[in-house]
């Protein structure tokens, strides 16, 4: 079973975001073993980066606005290729201040969901939904139309 880690700075504070994340984690459980690692927000990006760097494993995908933009189909293909190679995948979501340069430079791939900026808590839900969509595309499910 595919192993996916989501390293994120901060906790989900609002119940509606926790509920949405829990729903996608439940849906994903048939495709992958997903671990969410919450890193405490630091006073600076440098403070956060120390803890973030310790949590990185496998193929690291940093979410950042300057990253590459992929369609849902291309994202699914990328995850499928990594899964076929047996890669453990770790996604990294920064705090409201983003990710430290050393975290970005250590990533194997930088991914952008948009040129827009999203709240980091909402980004966790968006990421989980897109990972679920990717697995549904790979499996030929009807979720993605």
Three-state DSSP class for 64?
strand
Name the fold adopted by 2-139: Alpha/beta knot (3.40.1280)
Report the DSSP beta bridge partners of residue 116: none
Please report the pLDDT score of residue 139 as a whole number: 92
Please report the pLDDT score of residue 120 as a whole number: 87
**Token pair listed for 106:** 């250590």
Domain ranges for the chain: 2-139
Please report the pLDDT score of residue 145 as a whole number: 58
Q: What global pTM score does this model have? A: 0.94
Please report the pLDDT score of residue 144 as a whole number: 58
Cα–Cα distance, 134 to 54 (Å, whole number): 27
**Token pair listed for 84:** 């076929």
DSSP string covering 34-100: EEEEEEPP-SSHHHHHHHHHHH--SEEEEEEEEEEE--HHHHHHHHHHHHHTT--EEEEE-BTTB--
Residues of the chain with pLDDT under 70: 144-145
């Amino acid at each position: 079973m595919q192993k996916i880690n989501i390293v994120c700075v901060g906790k989900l504070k609002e119940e509606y975001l926790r509920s949405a994340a829990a729903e996608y984690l439940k849906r994903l459980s048939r495709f992958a073993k997903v671990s969410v690692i919450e890193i405490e927000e630091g006073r600076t990006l440098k403070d956060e980066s120390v803890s973030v760097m310790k949590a990185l494993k496998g193929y690291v995908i940093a979410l950042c606005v300057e990253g590459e933009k992929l369609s849902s189909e291309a994202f699914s293909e990328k995850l499928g290729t990594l899964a076929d190679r047996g890669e453990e995948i770790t996604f990294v979501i920064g705090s409201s201040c983003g990710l430290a340069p050393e975290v970005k430079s250590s990533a194997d791939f930088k991914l952008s969901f948009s040129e827009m900026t999203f709240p980091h808590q909402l980004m966790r839900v968006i990421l989980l939904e897109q990972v679920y969509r990717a697995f549904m595309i790979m499996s030929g499910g009807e979720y993605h139309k």
